[in-house]
Structure 1
Amino acid sequence: MSFSGIPTAALDFYDDLEADNSKSFWTAHKAVYDESVRGPMEALAAAVAKDFGEGKLFRPYRDVRFAKDKTPYKTHQGVWFEESRVYVQVSAAGLFVAAGYWRTETAQVERLRRAVAHDLHGPALEKAVAAVTKKGFRIGGDQLTRVPKGFDKDHPREGLLRHKTLTAAKELGFPDWLSTPKAKAEVVKAWKAMSPLVEWLDQHVGPA
């Protein structure tokens, strides 16, 4: 299946699922999910695999074992590209893109902090963050409420030092090109706009 865009039916499906997140709704509309959500997202993943690596389509079912919210289904469909550290998601709100390090092990967090505090690598990160935010992306990630022990609480990059994970993201919504083949190019364009942050993380934090 070649990628031809994300149909409006995908957004409508999640709009309806948010209103009726039940097994009966899912069973009655699973064909819509397969055709309008899963199929196009798999096609998008295949279309960009040569440049970004294999994409992992997340399961649509929520793990409710320890959750207060017992609704059984996720109200979005995401695809994660481990090799390139990029992500794309469709929901009732439209398209969402992100990139960076969502999960980090202890050793990675330590490397992140050392690099942020470094006299050369730290300013390089600030430059990367500035380049990404200038294009409309927001910087996120899990953060401590205070600067970690061992670092000056008045450090000029104290905000970045508090990060345990570091990401960039942007809501693309539902522009006219969403349901057309151009959606692939727009997603790739967004991922490349976030590449300064990913490249810095790959160089100074790296895999677990």
Structure 2
Amino acid sequence: MSFTGFPEAALDFYDDLEIDNSKVFWEAHKGMYRDSVAAPMTALTGELADEFGEAKIFRPYRDVRFSKDKTPYKTHQGAFVAVGPATGYYVQIGAPGFRVGAGFYDADSERLARFRRAIDDDLHGAELERILATLRRKGWEIGGNRLKTAPRGWAKDHPRIELLRHRSMTVSRDYGFDEVIHTPELVDRVRVHWRETRQLLNWLTQHGT
């Protein structure tokens, strides 16, 4: 199946789901989810697989076991292409529109320690700073979960303390409601933007594994 774009119905579906996140709504509209959201996302990531690899299309159901929020369904559809442990490329569609991202989303204490040793190293740390500065100039937003203060064992005045505070590190850019998301040209747009993040992912996989 070739990707032809996400229909307007995909955005409408998530607009309505945010208002009525219930099993009754889902059962009445699961055909719209299948045809307007899941099928186009599968087609989009399928066309990118030749260069980036096979994507995991996330399930639409929330894990509510340990959450105060018991709404059963995610209000967006994401897909992830792994290049390392919890590290890779990401795309998402939801009520706010379409977005792309990349980075690492989770790390145990040993992996975080490896990242931080690389950030502390003048050569590798400076390389990461250059990569992130280039991505910022190209319009990427730097994000991720960060400590409020210095991690244990690191000085608060470390020259790269802002990077050392990261427990995860992501870059993202928002397409919003750009008309391209409704066209086949979205494949090429995502391809170009994912390529821009390749240096970052290479750094993360090199120093986190």
Q: TM-score with structure 1 length normalisation?
A: 0.95
Match of 1:44 in 2: 44
Match of 2:157 in 1: 154
- Cα deviation for residue 196 of structure 1 reads 2.5
- Give the distance between the partners of 1:119 and 1:70, measured in 2 at CA: 46
Match of 1:58 in 2: 58
Whether the 8 Å CA contact 1:132–1:196 is kept in 2: the answer is: no
Match of 1:170 among 164, 170, 173: 173
Match of 1:102 among 101, 105, 116: 105
- Deviation digits for residues 57-78 of structure 1, max 9, x if unmatched? 1110111122111111110000
- Deviation digits for residues 86-131 of structure 1, max 9, x if unmatched? 0000001111111011011222101100011101111101000101
- Give the distance between the partners of 1:69 and 1:114, measured in 2 at CA: 37
- Deviation digits for residues 8-28 of structure 1, max 9, x if unmatched? 110111001111111111111
Q: Is residue 113 of structure 1 aligned with residue 116 of structure 2?
A: yes
Give the letter for the 2:160 counterpart: R
Match of 1:30 in 2: 30
Give the letter for the 1:128 counterpart: I
Q: 4+ residue stretches of structure 1 with deviation over 3 A?
A: none
- Give the distance between the partners of 2:170 and 2:197, measured in 1 at CA: 9
Structure 2 unaligned blocks of 5 or more? none
Total equivalences in the alignment: 206
Give the letter for the 1:183 counterpart: L
- Give the distance between the partners of 1:108 and 1:154, measured in 2 at CA: 23
Tell me, what secondary structure is at the counterpart of 2:107?
A: coil
What percent of counterpart residues are identical? 50
- Give the distance between the partners of 1:162 and 1:20, measured in 2 at CA: 38
- Give the distance between the partners of 2:26 and 2:106, measured in 1 at CA: 30
Q: Is residue 82 of structure 1 aligned with residue 85 of structure 2?
A: no
Whether the 8 Å CA contact 1:140–1:167 is kept in 2: the answer is: yes
- Cα deviation for residue 193 of structure 1 reads 1.9
- Cα deviation for residue 37 of structure 1 reads 0.2
Give the letter for the 1:77 counterpart: Q
Q: TM-score with structure 2 length normalisation?
A: 0.95
Q: Is residue 196 of structure 1 aligned with residue 190 of structure 2?
A: no
Whether the 8 Å CA contact 1:86–1:98 is kept in 2: the answer is: yes
Tell me, what secondary structure is at the counterpart of 1:82?
A: strand
- Give the distance between the partners of 2:158 and 2:51, measured in 1 at CA: 38
Match of 1:185 in 2: 188
Match of 1:134 in 2: 137
